Amino acid sequence: MAIHKKRFFRFLRTIGLIALVVGSVYGLGWSNLISVKSIAYSGTSHAAVLESALQSKGVALEIGMPLARVDVRAIGRIAEEVGWIADSKISRNWWNGKVGIAISERIPVAAFADVNGSLKYFDAQGTFFSSPGEYAANGEVKPLPIITFSANSAEARKAAAEWVASMPTQYLATMTSIWVNNPERIVMKAVDPALANKTITVIWGGVRDMPLKVKVLRALLLRPENKTHHLFDLSAPLAPITR
């Protein structure tokens, strides 16, 4: 008799544990016991664009949905597909039901018109992307140097991307315009980093030997005899031309 009682109580405990697990799964995944109470975006003023992308992929976030059903990985993957987003971090707070989406936007350093005439941007890593709106600094639209392509081909854009990625921040910040006549002839107009009232034109040639070309340009700009020179041809960095 005692053995039967033990088996019976063991059976009840097993049933109780199963019921607890099933109830917990239901409570977390399907009921509104732990639901999304708030959704907060940070790092961007274009949250609506990301919301639209999530909705189109069937991963829309809604107040009241079970918090456990928020697909963090899918949201992060879709955010990565949005060109102007460099990075994203998605979090869920199980205590207050808050979903946080922190966005890091790509910062443009130059702009260009694509084959359809739409404005695109390059960031400092050479990635080009579309923008959901105008870029602003201190509340004002930030002016960007425009890249002009003689032939707006994939090869020319690739060369421009590699060139931008190889440029030191010091020169990216002073550029006013860039011409890409072909992948082997990239020309930059910029403000002399050492003389704010002096404009220089630099013929870089192609993207080969860019570290050497940058080093040569820095040395040339420091020479007293070049203070009045405005053109620097670095196509052949070991035999530069200035005038």
- Residue 96's φ and ψ, nearest 5 degrees, are -115, 0
Q: How far apart are CA 126 and CA 118, in angstroms?
A: 18
Nearest to 171 by CA among 184, 159, 186, 188: 188
CATH code linked to domain 106-242: 3.40.50
Model confidence pLDDT, tens digit, residues 24-83: 444 544 556 688 999 999 999 889 999 999 999 999 899 999 998 899 999 999 998 998
Q: Where are the domains of the chain?
A: 32-104, 106-242
Distance CA 117, CA 241 (A): 35
Looking at the domain 32-104, which fold is it? Ubiquitin-like (UB roll) (3.10.20)
Report the b/e string of 186-223 with b at 16+ CB within 10 A: bbbbbbbbeeeeeebebbbbbbebbeebbebbeebbee
Task: Give pLDDT tens digits for 170-210.
Answer: 888 888 999 998 889 999 999 988 787 899 999 999 999 99
